[in-house]
Amino acid sequence: MWKNISGSKGSRDEMRVHGRVEAGTSVKVIAGALSGLHGPVSASTDAHVIMMLQMFGREVAAKVPLEKLGQTG
């Protein structure tokens, strides 16, 4: 599902490899208005995930495109 690749300067990026992100996987939003937030995936398709985020003092479901996600850890 996720794979480490080396950049030209030896830095490491997290990159999604083809396939769905499984429910329960913890991911982080790396781009867009929700950047920096993280939480577990509750559902996914080939294009996006539904993830649970802590916002406004409660848990909120958010639909996020896969290209805006990174692996937590």
- Residue 67: inside a domain, yes or no? yes
Q: Which residues of 13-50 are buried (b: 16+ CB within 10 A; e: fewer)?
A: ebebeeebbeeebebbbbeeebeebbbebeebeeebbe
- Counting the structural domains of the chain, the total is 1
- Residue 31: inside a domain, yes or no? yes
User: Could you read off the pLDDT of 30-72 as tens digits, one per residue?
Assistant: 999 999 999 999 999 888 999 999 998 999 999 999 999 988 8
Does the pTM surpass 0.85? The reply is: no
- Residue 1: inside a domain, yes or no? no
The domain spanning residue 43 has which CATH number? 2.30.30.30
What Cα–Cα distance (Å) separates residue 55 from each residue in 9, 25, 48, 61, 62? Answer: 36, 19, 20, 10, 10
What domain range includes position 43?
20-71
- Residue 36: inside a domain, yes or no? yes
- Residue 8: inside a domain, yes or no? no
